[in-house]
C-alpha cells in the first residue's frame, strides 16, 4: 500500500476519520485496514482500526498457536445503547469472524478475561439488575463465560463481601481464579481472590493479609491446580503504587508462600507472565524522578528468588500496561510513551530478552492519543497488540489492533542509543506471612435471557488506498 507508506499512520487515521465518520448506533463492527507502516518500528507492522458509533476499547487479547485470536473490551453507545462487555473473534491474518456484546439494563464495564477451556471468561463491574430490578444496583463483579464462537454459557454476579474490583484471572486446573481487591471500610484495600468451577459455581472467596493494605493485579497458574497472585502493597502518599509482591496459593486457597520485592521506588505492577523454564516475569511501571515512570521487568525463579531486575528508562514517561511470553525467555511489553512535545501518548511495544536487553521496539504515533492495553503471542515470532485511539476526529475512542513481526537484524546501538537506557535494579526479596480470611460472597446466577448477548455483523474490512 504505497500511499499509506508515504503518508504514515497518522495521515491514514485522518483518512479513516473522513471515510467513516460517526453514524447512528447499529450492531455493525466496522473494520478499516490501515495497511503497514515502518514509522519507528523494528520489523513489520500491520494495523487495523475497529469501531462502532461510540467509544470502544480493547483491554485483553488471547491467541492460539495458529494465529487465531480473541479480543475483549468494552463498548459505550456504539453498537447498542449503554455500556457493555465486547468480545471479537478472528482467524489468522486479522479477519474477524464474529463479535458480540454482553450486558444488562445498566452499566457493564469489562476489566479483563482469561482463557477458559475452549472459550473465554469475561469479567468486569456491573450495575445492571439482572433479577428484574427496576433501578440500577450497587456495582459488583460480573463474570460471563462464552464458548469459542462467543455464545454465552453462563453468567454470575459476585454479591456481598465488599469486592470493589477484579483485575485479572487465570485458569487453575479446570477452575478459574479471579483476583482483585475488596474494601475493608474507608479507603483500605485488601487482596481478594475468588475461585469458581467450570460451571460458575463458587468454590471459595478470600481476602489475604500480606502485612499492608494492597491490591492483586495479576495471576498465573501455579503448581497442583493452584495459582500465583501478583500485586502491590500500598505505600503512603503514593497513588496506586507501592511494593510488588507475589503470593502462592494451593487449590483450596491456602497461602503456600508470600514474598515482597522492595525496589528503589514505588512501583505499579500490571502483568505477570509464566515462562517455559518455570520462572515468572512481573512487569509494570517504576515511579521516580524524571521521566516519572519507566517500565520494569522482574524475573522470579521457582525458588521465588530474583533472577533479573531491570528498568528500561526513556527520555520521557513510558508506562507498561501488559506483557506476554515472547518465547526463548523473551517478554513482550506494551503500553504507552509520552510525546515529548505535546500532551498526548503514543502506543509503545518492546521485546526484552532473558538478560534484560531490548531486542526490538515499536512506537506507533497518530494524530491523537494511542495506548496499547493488551498483547498476545500468535504464530512463532508474531505478536498481536491491541488498544485504542481517539484519532478518528470525533468524541470517543476506537479500537486499534496490530500484528507485529519484529526483526532481530537491527544493531543494538540503534535500539537503545539516546532512546531507552537499560539499567539493573536493586530488588530485595523479603518473606511475608500471609493470612487468609473467608469472604461472605455469593455467586448469583444471572437468569437465562436476563443477560443480553447481541451478535454484531462483521463486514469485510475496508481498505484505505
> CB-based burial of residue 210 (10 Å sphere; 0-12 exposed, 13-18 middle, 19+ buried)?
buried
Give me the tens of pLDDT residue by residue for the chain, a chain 465 residues long.
Answer: 222 333 355 545 544 444 444 568 899 999 888 765 545 666 778 888 898 989 999 999 999 988 899 999 999 999 989 999 999 999 887 889 999 999 998 999 999 999 999 999 999 999 998 876 556 789 999 999 999 999 999 999 999 999 999 999 999 999 999 999 998 665 689 999 999 999 999 999 999 999 999 999 999 999 999 999 999 999 877 778 999 999 999 999 999 999 999 999 999 999 999 999 999 999 999 998 766 899 999 999 999 999 999 999 888 899 999 999 999 999 999 999 998 888 889 899 999 999 999 988 888 887 788 999 999 998 888 999 999 998 755 558 999 999 998 875 555 544 444 478 889 999 999 999 999 999 999 999 999 889 999 999 987 766 544
Q: CA-to-CA distance for 126 and 106, rounded, in angstroms?
A: 8
Q: What DSSP string describes 347-370?
A: EEEEEE-TTS-EEEEEEE--SS-E
Task: Note the pLDDT of residue 392.
Answer: 59
**2.120.10.30, 2.60.120.200, 4.10.490.10, 3.90.1150.10: which CATH number matches 2-463?**
2.120.10.30
Instruction: Identify whether the C-beta of residue 52 lies closer than 8 Å to the C-beta of residue 30.
Output: yes
Q: CA-to-CA distance for 31 and 155, rounded, in angstroms?
A: 29
Q: CA-to-CA distance for 206 and 204, rounded, in angstroms?
A: 7
Q: CA-to-CA distance for 249 and 236, rounded, in angstroms?
A: 27
Q: CA-to-CA distance for 156 and 121, rounded, in angstroms?
A: 11
- Which secondary-structure segment (H or E) carries 387? strand 383-389
Q: CA-to-CA distance for 36 and 44, rounded, in angstroms?
A: 7
Instruction: Identify whether the C-beta of residue 42 lies closer than 8 Å to the C-beta of residue 408.
Output: no
Q: CA-to-CA distance for 403 and 286, rounded, in angstroms?
A: 27
Cell of 67: 494465529
φ, ψ (nearest 5 deg) of residue 347: -70, 140
Strand partners, 414: none
CB atoms within 10 A of CB 288: 16
The Cα diameter of the chain in Å comes to 63
CA proximity to 169, closest of 232, 206, 100, 122: 122
**What stretches of 15-68 adopt beta strand conformation (E)?**
30-36, 44-51, 55-63
Q: CA-to-CA distance for 58 and 365, rounded, in angstroms?
A: 18
CA atoms within 13 A on the CB side of 157: 23
Strand partners, 391: none
Based on DSSP, count helices (H) and strands (E) in the chain, helices before strands.
2, 35
Within 8 A by CB and 6+ apart from 93, the residues are 67, 403
Task: Note the pLDDT of residue 460.
Answer: 72
CA proximity to 461, closest of 12, 51, 57, 75: 51
Strand partners, 284: 269, 296
Q: What DSSP string describes 62-116?
A: EE-TTS-EEEEEEEESSSSSSEEEEEEEEETTTEEEEEEEEE-SS-EEEEEEEEE
Grouping H, G, I as helix, E, B as strand and the rest as coil, residue 5 is helix
Task: Note the pLDDT of residue 420.
Answer: 81
Cell of 205: 472467596
Q: CA-to-CA distance for 311 and 230, rounded, in angstroms?
A: 18
Report residue 433 CA to chain centroid gap: 29
CB atoms within 10 A of CB 316: 17
The CA-atom distances, in angstroms, between 165 and each of 143, 161, 217, 219 are: 12, 12, 10, 15
Task: Note the pLDDT of residue 285.
Answer: 96
The CA-atom distances, in angstroms, between 68 and each of 16, 94, 134, 269, 326 are: 25, 8, 40, 28, 16
Amino acid at each position: 500500500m504505497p500511499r499509506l507508506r508515504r503518508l504514515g499512520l497518522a495521515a491514514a487515521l485522518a483518512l479513516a476519520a473522513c471515510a467513516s465518520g460517526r453514524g447512528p448506533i447499529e450492531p455493525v463492527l466496522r473494520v478499516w485496514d490501515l495497511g503497514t507502516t515502518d514509522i519507528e518500528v523494528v520489523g513489520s507492522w500491520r494495523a487495523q482500526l475497529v469501531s462502532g458509533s461510540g467509544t470502544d476499547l480493547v483491554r485483553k487479547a488471547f491467541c492460539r498457536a495458529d494465529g487465531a485470536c480473541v479480543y475483549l473490551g468494552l463498548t459505550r453507545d456504539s453498537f447498542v445503547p449503554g455500556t457493555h462487555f465486547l468480545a471479537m473473534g478472528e482467524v489468522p491474518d486479522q479477519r474477524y469472524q464474529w463479535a458480540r456484546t454482553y450486558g444488562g439494563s445498566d452499566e457493564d464495564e469489562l476489566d479483563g478475561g482469561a482463557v477458559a477451556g475452549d472459550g473465554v471468561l469475561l469479567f468486569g463491574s456491573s450495575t445492571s439488575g439482572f433479577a428484574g430490578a427496576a433501578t440500577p444496583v450497587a456495582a459488583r463483579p460480573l463474570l460471563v463465560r462464552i464458548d469459542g464462537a462467543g455464545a454465552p454459557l453462563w453468567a454470575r454476579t459476585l454479591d456481598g463481601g465488599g469486592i470493589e474490583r477484579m483485575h485479572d484471572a487465570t485458569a487453575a486446573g479446570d477452575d478459574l481464579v479471579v483476583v482483585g481487591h475488596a474494601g475493608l471500610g474507608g479507603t483500605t484495600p485488601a487482596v481478594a481472590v475468588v475461585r469458581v468451577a467450570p460451571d460458575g459455581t463458587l468454590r471459595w472467596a478470600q481476602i489475604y493479609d500480606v502485612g499492608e493494605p494492597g491490591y492483586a493485579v495479576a495471576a498465573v497458574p501455579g503448581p497442583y491446580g493452584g495459582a500465583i497472585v501478583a500485586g502491590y502493597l500500598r505505600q503512603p502518599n503514593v497513588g496506586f503504587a507501592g511494593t510488588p509482591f507475589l503470593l502462592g496459593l494451593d487449590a483450596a486457597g491456602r497461602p503456600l508462600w508470600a514474598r515482597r520485592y522492595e525496589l528503589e521506588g514505588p512501583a505499579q505492577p500490571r502483568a505477570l507472565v509464566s515462562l517455559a523454564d518455570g520462572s515468572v516475569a512481573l512487569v509494570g511501571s517504576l515511579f521516580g524522578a524524571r521521566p516519572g515512570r519507566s517500565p520494569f521487568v522482574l524475573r522470579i525463579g521457582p525458588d521465588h528468588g530474583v533472577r533479573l531486575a531491570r528498568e528500561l528508562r526513556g527520555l520521557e514517561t513510558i508506562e507498561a500496561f501488559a506483557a506476554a511470553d515472547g518465547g526463548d525467555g523473551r517478554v513482550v511489553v506494551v503500553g504507552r510513551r509520552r510525546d515529548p512535545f505535546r500532551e498526548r501518548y503514543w502506543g509503545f511495544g518492546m521485546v526484552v530478552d532473558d538478560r534484560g536487553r531490548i531486542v526490538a521496539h515499536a512506537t506507533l504515533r497518530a494524530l491523537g492519543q494511542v495506548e496499547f492495553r493488551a498483547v498476545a503471542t500468535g504464530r512463532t515470532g508474531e505478536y498481536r497488540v491491541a488498544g485504542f485511539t481517539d484519532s478518528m476526529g470525533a468524541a470517543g475512542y476506537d479500537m486499534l489492533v496490530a500484528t507485529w513481526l519484529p526483526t532481530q537484524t537491527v544493531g543494538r546501538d540503534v535500539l537503545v542509543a539516546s532512546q531507552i537506557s537499560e539499567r539493573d535494579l536493586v530488588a530485595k526479596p523479603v518473606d511475608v506471612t500471609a493470612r487468609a480470611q473467608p469472604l461472605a460472597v455469593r455467586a448469583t446466577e444471572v437468569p437465562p435471557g436476563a443477560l443480553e448477548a447481541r451478535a454484531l455483523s462483521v463486514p469485510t474490512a475496508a481498505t484505505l488506498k
